[in-house]
Amino acid sequence: MHNDYHRISLGFFPTPLHELKNLSQMLNGPRIFIKRDDQTGLALGGNKVRKLEYIMADALAKQSQVIITVGAVSSNHARQTAAAAAILGLECHLVLIGRQPQERQGNYLLDDLLGAECSCVRNSQVASTVEILMQQYRDEGKNPYFIPAGGHSTEGVIAYMQACQEIQQQAEYDYAAIVTAVGTGTTYAGLYLGEKTKNHAPQVIGISVGGDQNWCSEEILSIIHPLEKQMGMTLSQAQDLSIYYDYIGAGYTKTYPQLREVIKLTARQEGILLDPVYSGKAMLGLIDLIKQGYFTREQNVLFLHTGGAPEIFSYNTFLTEID
């Protein structure tokens, strides 16, 4: 299926896959492996690079000169899009949700370094701002290309279906599950669909970082149903998705002490850096499931590290607080 879509090279693939021996031993649970999509290479990496290899191929095919996308002020997707546009010699305009920060830090600092133009707006102003910008660029004789927040698109799903093949080629073991963070759900959707076609496939477990069950199911099902129809598959239902909502805390970007503990634990046991918005919550979910006895000691589980490193520095106060 993914062979029907064009892909350009923006990052370093395949990303490494290795074992987290210290963490596995400490938890006395299954063997834990990690797929390093935090190491996709482009401008500090992350899962969006994989999606952007397909999305930007589409933008180039449509002869666009300007890329417009949306995200939070702290968006990893926005930063990686800015980097992809820079390589390809395209203009990039980021519509960022939130108050304009007083200082450039984290992803917002890197957006500027990468040459993107940024407009900070309220959530309620996003759609109209995008519409106005698209028109402005058209009036200038340019052909703007819009990427939905988080790269939530068919191309994004295709990218993670392809990632399943990459994982299969690297795997020395059978995995009982692949665990990933769920933001817009595109990564989850791709993994879910990529594994759906296989026999003895690992269960794809998502850990929501903000969205509730209705929102996540709707986002994921609406993007996979057209592909399932195209591939002649039965249409998935909400109950087919394995997503946990217990690790969100007070909401998207909101932190709490157990999150800090897991981020520190993973750093100190494995030298792996997790961010408090996405990968930290996902790892907390995995560790909690292991502690609850969800997996046997004989099983292997694969954690997909989706990136997010730049935001670690914006959370310096939270990460250095003492409980």
Ligand X SMILES: Cc1ncc(COP(=O)(O)O)c(C=O)c1O
Can you tell me whether residue 171 is helix, strand or coil?
coil
CA–CA distance, 219 with 228 (Å, rounded to integer)? 15
Q: Is 11 in the site for ligand X (CB under 6 A)?
A: no
Which residue in the set 56, 59, 161, 182 belongs to the binding site for ligand X (CB under 6 A)? 182
181 binds ligand X, rule: CB under 6 A? yes
* Binding region for ligand X (CB under 6 A) out of 98-106, 132-140, 232-240, 306-314: 306-314
Q: Hey, CA dihedral for 72, 42, 48, 67, is it positive or negative?
A: positive
With residue 52 as reference, give the H or E element that holds it. Answer: helix 47-61
**185 binds ligand X per the rule CB under 6 A:** yes
Q: Which stretch binds ligand X (CB under 6 A): 20-28, 95-103, 130-138, 184-192?
A: 184-192
DSSP-assigned beta bridge partners for residue 170 = none
Binding residue for ligand X, selected from 29, 45, 46, 285, defined by CB under 6 A? 46
Cα–Cα distance, 2 to 201 (Å, whole number): 18
Beta strands in the chain (DSSP E): 17-19, 31-36, 66-72, 91-97, 117-121, 144-147, 177-182, 203-208, 242-244, 300-305
Interacting residues of 227 by C-beta distance below 8 A, sequence separation 6+: 1, 154, 157, 158, 193
- Is position 39 an interface residue for ligand X (rule: CB under 6 A)? no
Two structure tokens written together for 102: 């007083």
Which residue lies nearer to ligand X by CB, 20 or 29? 20
Closer to ligand X at the Cβ: 196 or 281? 281
Token pair for residue 321?
């607080």
Work out whether 76 is an interface residue with ligand X (CB under 6 A).
Answer: yes
> Which stretch in 116-124, 125-133, 301-309, 313-321 sits in contact with ligand X by CB under 6 A?
301-309
Among 15, 39, 40, 47, binds ligand X (CB under 6 A): 47
Instruction: Kindly determine how many residues on this chain lie close enough to bind ligand X according to the rule CB under 6 A.
Output: 18
Range in contact with ligand X (rule: CB under 6 A) among 55-63, 181-189, 197-205, 254-262: 181-189
Measured CA to CA in angstroms, residue 74 lies from 107, 109, 127, 181, 207 at distances of 5, 9, 19, 17, 20
Residues 273-292 that bind ligand X (CB under 6 A): 278-279
Nearer to ligand X, 33 or 303 (CB): 303
Is 124 one of the annotated active-site residues of the chain? no
Binding window for ligand X (CB under 6 A); candidates: 27-35, 87-95, 131-139, 305-313: 305-313
The reply on whether position 314 binds ligand X by CB under 6 A is no
Helix ranges, 114-212 (H): 126-139, 154-170, 186-196
Selected catalytic residue, list 24, 74, 75, 314: 75
- CB of residue 277 vs ligand X: minimum separation in angstroms? 7
Q: Does 162 bind ligand X (CB under 6 A)?
A: no
- Using only C-alpha atoms, the chain has a radius of gyration, in whole angstroms, of 19
Nearer to ligand X, 185 or 202 (CB): 185
Question: Position 161: which residue type?
Answer: M
- Residue nearest ligand X (C-beta atom): 183
User: Which of 303, 309, 300 lies closest to 277, judged by CA?
Assistant: 309
Candidates 257, 256, 255, 218; CA nearest to 237 is 218
Shortest approach of ligand X to residue 307 CB, angstroms?
4
* Residue 137 or 301 having the CB closest to ligand X: 301
- Residue ranges in contact with ligand X by CB under 6 A: 46-47, 76-77, 150, 181-188, 278-279, 306-308
Active-site residue set: 75
